[in-house]
């Protein structure tokens, strides 16, 4: 059963989304859960190229425009990130606020204020894998370049 461990991003989560060493994040997917209009949960998968940890209590997201996830975050603000790594399962709960920007990126941007983090490790049953994806039809170098541009922009979307 998950247990609340604090109100700040754990070091593993902060490090995974600090925008550095994106090569090590290539192929890793992270589940985000929002709430639909009818109250049902909606999951989506994001990559490290779409999530940026600004500090211990703030994440920023860059989503494709006109998605259910973006609508849910804008309308209800409830956010849950499921981070799974080797030996680590962490849930980050937060509240989303839409970022208004000058439109240099074709994305919807959100800032997430971390409310709580939960640890869901089970003694004797450590996780050893997470969701992964392959690059098909796009070179990893091209994707990394796009990620770097998006994360750089997320640091200062008003620039």
Of the pLDDT bands very low, low, confident and very high (cuts 50, 70, 90), residue 102 is low
Give the Cα-Cα-Cα angle 97, 110, 38 (nearest 5 degrees).
65
Average pLDDT value over all residues in the chain: 92
Residue 127 is given by DSSP the state -
pTM: 0.91
């Amino acid at each position: 059963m998950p247990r609340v461990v604090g109100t700040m991003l754990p070091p593993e989560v902060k490090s995974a989304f600090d925008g550095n060493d994106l090569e090590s994040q290539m192929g890793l997917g992270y589940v985000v859960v929002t709430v639909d209009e009818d109250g049902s949960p909606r999951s989506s998968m994001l990559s490290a190229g779409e999530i940026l940890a600004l500090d211990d209590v703030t994440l920023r997201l860059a989503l494709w425009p006109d998605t259910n996830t973006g609508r849910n975050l804008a309308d209800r603000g409830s956010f849950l990130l499921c981070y799974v790594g080797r030996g680590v399962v962490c849930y980050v709960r937060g509240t989303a606020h839409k970022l208004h920007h000058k439109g240099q990126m074709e994305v919807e941007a959100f800032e997430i204020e971390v409310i709580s983090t939960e640890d869901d490790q089970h003694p004797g049953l450590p996780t050893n894998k997470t969701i992964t994806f392959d690059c098909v039809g796009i070179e990893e170098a091209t994707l990394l370049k796009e990620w770097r541009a998006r994360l750089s922009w997320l640091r200062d979307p008003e620039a």
